[in-house]
Amino acid sequence: MALKSKKNYLEQLQTAVHNDELKQALAGNVSTVKADTENALHQFSGLRNVKARAAYLKLKVLEELDRFLIQFENQFSAAGGKVLWANDSKEAQEKVLALINEYPDATVI
Q: What is the pLDDT of residue 62?
A: 97
CA distances from 36 to 2, 4, 33 (A): 32, 36, 5
What are the helix (H) ranges across the chain?
A: 6-17, 20-63, 65-78, 89-102
- H or E element at residue 1: none
Quickly count: other Cβ atoms within 10 Å of residue 5's Cβ: 8
CB 12 within 8 A of CB 1: yes
Mean pLDDT in residue range 41-65: 89
Task: Answer for the pair 83, 77: CB distance below 8 angstroms, yes or no.
Answer: yes
Query: What is the predicted pLDDT for the residue at 48?
Result: 82
pLDDT bracket for residue 38 (50, 70, 90): confident
pLDDT at 66: 95
Query: Residue 63: CB partners within 8 Å, gap ≥ 6?
Result: none
- Look at residue 4 and tell me whether its pLDDT is greater than 70: no
Q: What pLDDT, on a 0 to 100 scale, did the predictor assign at position 3? A: 53
Per the prediction, the chain carries an average pLDDT of 87
Tell me the C-alpha to C-alpha distance, in Å, between residue 23 and each of 1, 10, 27, 29, 30: 19, 17, 6, 10, 10
